[in-house]
Structure 1
């Protein structure tokens, strides 16, 4: 039977602590005797976790005979639940010796079992949970070595449960935009030059930022005050934790985010050479969680709530189903697949773009689409014949061009924006542009208004390092719009 098959789903109201018991049989029997007794349980409930408890206080507070209380305190000492001691105290002008009891590690665990977490100080709770984790980690290592089990499984389970809990605590806001795409952890590094064949080069990783085209669009939209849901997959790993934390911080609806145990989250290496030129490499593995892989994984009600459905780097077979469903609901479908998908040629993406209202691509992607299509695609009109009547071609700091039906207009980036916002890192500029463009469309703005708004957002993003941390707020764009 597989480990996955052996897993048991526990109710959410089970006690939040795992309780270890002594290996020694005699001590274990003593513990059970104490736990089965009203006197023993009464004493445990009255013991202070953080400081000694005096015998006379227990006798005074508990509704049992002195003999019974003292008998069970002795049993607790024998079972190593408490340690005892004596100290001098001044009572009625007399110095007397008083007996005290203090919980051992086992005692603290038993007391925590009986108390609500709210009754325990944060410091004690943290210390006790850390002790428990240390013990169980050591036991799991021993268990894996003894029975030849993969310890990576336990790492993945811990990551998965942690991520699922974070996801569960994220508010499920009703979205105006549903975003499909990938999430990636961006590793920023520097290199003097690319190595020659068989040469070793040192890459220094200087910064790590949450990224991924679809994820960036979702975060940028939320930062502009747009309720947004992001539909994707991430791995149950360290990178997944960083990505999920970023979504939580930016209030993105994660109800349809899939966390996959046994898979790694996508990572991207962004290298800057000595001249400041940027090279981007996606680090994939056979088990990388890239995006949604089946229509069955989609919560379709999120699309019903939304006014706009944005499809980014999503597997073509799934993207075509999403676009078809959204179009039939009367939603605005925006498709921006990125260069790797455009390299597949028009034949592979035509079932997506035939349901697309707005198709966004950059100059590199446009060149790759023309080069890799078996069908002759030489003009935007050729592209429009496949469905999308509005096509936006972004050209970096040169601006963009928009074809809307037979209308064609060029929008250069205003010189004042170029002068004010010097390019530091262009990563995420297209994502920021797309999000701001969508924001303006939701407000009923024209294409021209949406482009001007989006250009400000992209310029601000380029003036800062990282993608997600660089996205502007609505106030920043409005301030620089004039």
Structure 2
């Protein structure tokens, strides 16, 4: 794999490698011995509050690996908003288009089980205020960046506006929801896990078949993440399996965002999709070895040592 300097040599410089248009949430995390059944109460650990949100997570994941990243989004003018800004600033994410909003910051309520598995409920808060006008205001950034990374924790009109402006749009279809054909056609790639693929297709299935079926819906390429089993990549009718290093999972919170942020950065550096996904799988594996989302994201050195 080339170094950052080697990637830049002979390639045009852009203000940012990746522009993320997406959410920023405060993660309220409780560890539980088991997830409760409907109507059941279980006791958990002491509450921990960490910076999160799919957009902010992807921005931090890419920045920590060496990418130049900007985030377009909204946070509340509250304590959680200050936490989110401080976290992003520590990793040198550009916040010129992260707007304060007269609403509470978004939060995610996360229960983490003993095997690192999690259940998440998101209250969008300020994220729901992100508008198409906010995106158009950041149009010069989006048009110049090699890759724009998107998710669905912000309103769909903002996502679609960003995808229209992007030179290359990476869409993580999470939380899973129906989206217009126009948005699917702009994805390169569409990134989903097996559950999200089943929601979009209407039925579950084997990852290879799901990838081909998703490709038939219109995206230019598809990546299905499989957790500890790596990923499946589909483009131009070809399907490739991508392995993941075997690690002991402590907490899977934000691992998919680590994958997508790393994928976006490697695509911005000009790597083929299968190679970028293989690197992203290593980043995702490194992230599950520590608790939390952004707190768990590795540096380049940690990925190389995996």
State which of 251, 261, 281 in structure 2 corresponds to 1:455.
281
After TM superposition, give the deviation of residue 174 of structure 1 in Å.
Answer: 2.6
After TM superposition, give the deviation of residue 278 of structure 1 in Å.
Answer: 2.4
Which residue in 2 is equivalent to 1:282? Answer: 122
After TM superposition, give the deviation of residue 297 of structure 1 in Å.
Answer: 1.4
What does 1:141-156 align with in structure 2 at a 5 Å threshold? Answer: none
Residues in 2 aligned to 1:310 and 1:275: alpha-carbon distance in whole angstroms: 29
Q: Which has the higher helix share?
A: 1
Question: In the alignment, does 2:189 pair up with 1:358?
Answer: yes
Question: In the alignment, does 2:173 pair up with 1:337?
Answer: yes
After TM superposition, give the deviation of residue 183 of structure 1 in Å.
Answer: 0.8
State which of 120, 130, 149 in structure 2 corresponds to 1:310.
149
CA shift in 2, pair 1:204/1:388, >3 Å: same
Which residue in 1 is equivalent to 2:10? Answer: none
Which residue in 1 is equivalent to 2:230? Answer: 399
Q: TM-score, normalised by structure 1?
A: 0.55
CA shift in 2, pair 1:400/1:295, >3 Å: same
Which residue in 2 is equivalent to 1:475? Answer: 301
Question: In the alignment, does 2:30 pair up with 1:189?
Answer: yes
After TM superposition, give the deviation of residue 399 of structure 1 in Å.
Answer: 1.1
Residues in 1 aligned to 2:173 and 2:38: alpha-carbon distance in whole angstroms: 32
Give secondary structure in 1 for the equivalent of 2:96: coil
CA-atom RMSD in angstroms: 2.3
Residues in 2 aligned to 1:295 and 1:408: alpha-carbon distance in whole angstroms: 35
Flag structure 1 segments of 5+ consecutive residues without an equivalent: 1-172, 373-377
After TM superposition, give the deviation of residue 366 of structure 1 in Å.
Answer: 0.8
Q: TM-score, normalised by structure 2?
A: 0.85
Alignment length, in residue pairs? 285
After TM superposition, give the deviation of residue 197 of structure 1 in Å.
Answer: 6.5
CA shift in 2, pair 1:325/1:386, >3 Å: farther
Residues in 2 aligned to 1:197 and 1:333: alpha-carbon distance in whole angstroms: 38
What does 1:92-107 align with in structure 2 at a 5 Å threshold? Answer: none
CA shift in 2, pair 1:474/1:291, >3 Å: farther
Which residue in 2 is equivalent to 1:49? Answer: none
Work out whether residues 243 and 278 of structure 2, in 8 Å CA contact, stay in contact via their aligned partners in 1: no
After TM superposition, give the deviation of residue 176 of structure 1 in Å.
Answer: 1.8
Deviation string 1:199-258 (CA, Å, 9 cap, x unpaired) is 654444342211111110101111111111101111111111111110111110101111
CA shift in 2, pair 1:241/1:332, >3 Å: same
Give secondary structure in 1 for the equivalent of 2:95: coil
Which residue in 1 is equivalent to 2:162? Answer: 322
Deviation string 1:44-100 (CA, Å, 9 cap, x unpaired) is xxxxxxxxxxxxxxxxxxxxxxxxxxxxxxxxxxxxxxxxxxxxxxxxxxxxxxxxx
Which residue in 1 is equivalent to 2:67? Answer: 226
Q: Which has the higher strand share?
A: 2
CA shift in 2, pair 1:369/1:450, >3 Å: same
Work out whether residues 181 and 291 of structure 1, in 8 Å CA contact, stay in contact via their aligned partners in 2: no
Relative contact order, higher structure (CA 8 A, sep 6+) = 2
Work out whether residues 292 and 318 of structure 1, in 8 Å CA contact, stay in contact via their aligned partners in 2: no
Flag structure 2 segments of 5+ consecutive residues without an equivalent: 1-13, 204-208
- Larger Rg computed on CA atoms: 1
Residues in 2 aligned to 1:434 and 1:318: alpha-carbon distance in whole angstroms: 19
CA shift in 2, pair 1:277/1:220, >3 Å: closer
